[in-house]
Amino acid sequence: MARAIVNVPARAKRGEIVEVKTLAQHPMETGFRRTQTGELIPRDIIRRFTCTYNGTEVYRVDLHPAMSANPLIAFSTIATETGTLAFQWAGDNGYSVTETASIRVE
Amino acid sequence: MSLRTALLFAASLLCAGAGAGEIPPSERRSGYDLMSRETRAIQDDDATNPGMLWVLDGEALWNRKAGAVGRACAACHGDARTSMKGVAARYPAFDAALRRPVNLEERIKLCRSERQKAPPLAFESRDLLALTAYVARQSRGLPIAIVIDERTLPFLDAGREAFHRRQGQLNLACSQCHDDNWGRRLAGSLIPQAHPTGYPLYRLEWQGLGSLERRLRNCLIGIRAEPYAFGAPEFVDLELYLMWRANGMKIETPAVRP
């Protein structure tokens, strides 16, 4: 199961700064930990998160080991036009999750 | 300082100034009230509360057919928002067949195995935590309402006795920390009053969701007592006492704690 929760205001005024909040379900296994018998637990992390707004990239972040599990990424963007924000998380072991949210700008 | 060393220091400290007794109702505080502003903010907003990831998984499981009977929880219980409202606030509850109180996890396990004829869910498994979080979420904001009768009284008494009994290599009772020294620090941690208002909850230290029994294991290991197995009657007695002790306080599931 790979779930993500995104939160974008449903409507905004043109030019307004809006806050976007995202939460992705992921263990963010660092690759540095060992089991009780000494075997290395392989790394399993989200590598990259991107957000596009009507096709234009507005936010991107690279993630690294030792970031918390189920990372919460919040950022702001400017409400320019009515449309869709598309979110993508990609990482180790073929992890890939997408979500969308729409915003009405008046 | 590790938690272990901190506890050793605390052990000698607590022996000196104990004896404050039970907390009067007007002074009861949820662990929430003792958290930092930032951690409270994570809990307050469903868009940032990581426990919601489990609640959403639980909702999907609620509606999924399972077991030989081929029925989903929803097929018998309908919309959880109405049928499960207030249920978590009165668990652990007496089970007539088992003749003892069962907690919410056990209750759900019973429905899984007896009503759905599905393979049992393990304690602390992702699916059981998700279902429990989803069911308990329907009671968020409602007051804890444990009613004790002659059937449950012996179990409440056993739980109360365990809460006040010194145990483990550090020879500490739950009450010495949670009744007598709440609000003070144990190394970096504030000692809460131990009200089980938010379970299952997301603990930042766990990086995941966990049950009340997992929390109690942490405290038992902290005082170097041997923790009970998940689902042990001793655990449920303690849970019953903790819930009764928190009667009237609001359910916060899924809460967030440090």
**Are the Cβ atoms of A23 and B207 closer than 8 angstroms?**
no
Q: How many CB pairs under 8 A join A and B?
A: 35
Per the DSSP assignment, residues forming a β-bridge with B71 are B66
Fold exhibited by the domain B51-137: Cytochrome Bc1 Complex; Chain D, domain 2 (1.10.760)
Q: Which parts of chain B have pLDDT scores under 50? A: 1-2, 5, 8-19
Check if the beta carbon of residue A14 is closer than 8 Å to that of residue A104. no
Say if A21 is an interface residue toward chain B (CB within 8 Å): yes
Taking the C-alpha atoms of residue B100 and residue A70, their distance in angstroms, rounded to an integer, is: 37
Check if the beta carbon of residue A67 is closer than 8 Å to that of residue A89. no
B73 is catalytic: no
Position B20 scores a pLDDT of 54
**Phi, psi for A30 (deg, rounded to 5):** -70, -30
Taking the C-alpha atoms of residue B150 and residue B148, their distance in angstroms, rounded to an integer, is: 7
Position B14 scores a pLDDT of 45
- Domains, chain A, with CATH or none: 4-105 (2.60.40.10)
**Closest CA relative to residue B199, chosen from B30, B72, B26, B47:** B30
**Closest CA relative to residue B168, chosen from B13, B18, B19, B11:** B11
Cα-based angle A92, A56, A105 (whole degrees, multiple of 5): 120
Position A36 scores a pLDDT of 92
Q: Average pLDDT in the A79-100 region?
A: 97
Six-digit token pair at A30? Answer: 């660092």
Say if A33 is an interface residue toward chain B (CB within 8 Å): no
Six-digit token pair at B22? Answer: 């039970």
Chain A interface, mutation test: which of B44, B53, B209, most A Cβ atoms within 10 Å?
Answer: B53
Nearest-Cα distance to chain B for A9, in Å, is 11
Taking the C-alpha atoms of residue B57 and residue B133, their distance in angstroms, rounded to an integer, is: 9
**Are the Cβ atoms of B204 and A25 closer than 8 angstroms?**
no
Nearest-Cα distance to chain B for A25, in Å, is 7
Position B223 scores a pLDDT of 97
Question: Which residue among B48, B126, B204 sits closest to A23, beta carbon to beta carbon?
Answer: B48
Question: Which residue among A5, A21, A28 sits closest to B53, beta carbon to beta carbon?
Answer: A5
What percentage of chain A reaches a pLDDT higher than 70?
99
Per DSSP, which regions of B65-157 are E strands?
A: 93-95, 100-102
**Closest CA relative to residue A1, chosen from B125, B142, B204:** B125
Check if the beta carbon of residue B84 is closer than 8 Å to that of residue B104. no
pTM of the model: 0.92
Residues of B whose CB is below 8 A from A5: 46-47, 52-53, 56
Nearest-Cα distance to chain B for A55, in Å, is 24
Taking the C-alpha atoms of residue B88 and residue B239, their distance in angstroms, rounded to an integer, is: 12
Question: Which residue among B47, B204, B208 sits closest to A23, beta carbon to beta carbon?
Answer: B47
Position B256 scores a pLDDT of 98
3-state secondary structure of B65: coil
Task: Please report, for residues A106, B217, B256, the alpha-carbon distance to residue B220 in angstroms, rounded to integers and kept in the order given.
Answer: 57, 5, 21
Question: What's the CATH code, domain B3-45+150-257?
Answer: 1.10.760.10
Position B118 scores a pLDDT of 96
What percentage of chain A reaches a pLDDT higher than 90?
97
Per the DSSP assignment, residues forming a β-bridge with B257 are B203
Per this entry, what is the length of chain A?
A: 106
Q: Where do the CATH 1.10.760.10 domains begin and end in chain B? A: 3-45+150-257, 51-137
Residues of A whose CB is below 8 A from B45: 21
**Phi, psi for B225 (deg, rounded to 5):** -100, 155
Task: Please report, for residues A11, A80, B37, B209, the alpha-carbon distance to residue A103 in angstroms, rounded to integers and kept in the order given.
Answer: 5, 10, 29, 32
**Closest CA relative to residue A60, chosen from A78, A43, A47, A45:** A47
Taking the C-alpha atoms of residue B239 and residue B244, their distance in angstroms, rounded to an integer, is: 8
ipTM, two decimals: 0.90
Residue linked to tokens 């207030």: B86
Position A1 scores a pLDDT of 55
Provide Rg for chain A, Cα atoms. 16
Taking the C-alpha atoms of residue B66 and residue B63, their distance in angstroms, rounded to an integer, is: 9
